[in-house]
Amino acid sequence: MSNKVFFTPEGYNKLIDELEKLQKIERPKIIKEIEEARAKGDLSENAEYHAAKEKQVFIEKRITEISNKINKACIIDPNSVPKDKISFGCKVKLLNTDTDEEVEYMIVGEDEANPNEGKISVNSPIALALLGKEVGDIVTVKVPAGVKNFEIEDIS
**pLDDT for 87-100, tens place per residue?**
999 999 999 999 99
Structure pTM?
0.80
Q: Provide the β-strand partners of residue 26.
A: none
Residue pair 94/118 in contact by the 8 Å Cβ criterion: no
91-96 and 146-155 strand pairing = antiparallel
pLDDT at 2: 54
Which structural domains are found in the chain, ordered by start? 3-73 (1.10.287.180), 83-153 (3.10.50.30)
Return the ∠ at Cα 107 (arms to 103 and 110), rounded to 5°: 125
> Quick check: helix, strand or coil at residue 32?
helix
The residue ranges of the chain whose pLDDT is under 70 are 1-2
For residue 89, count other CB atoms closer than 10 A to its CB. Answer: 21
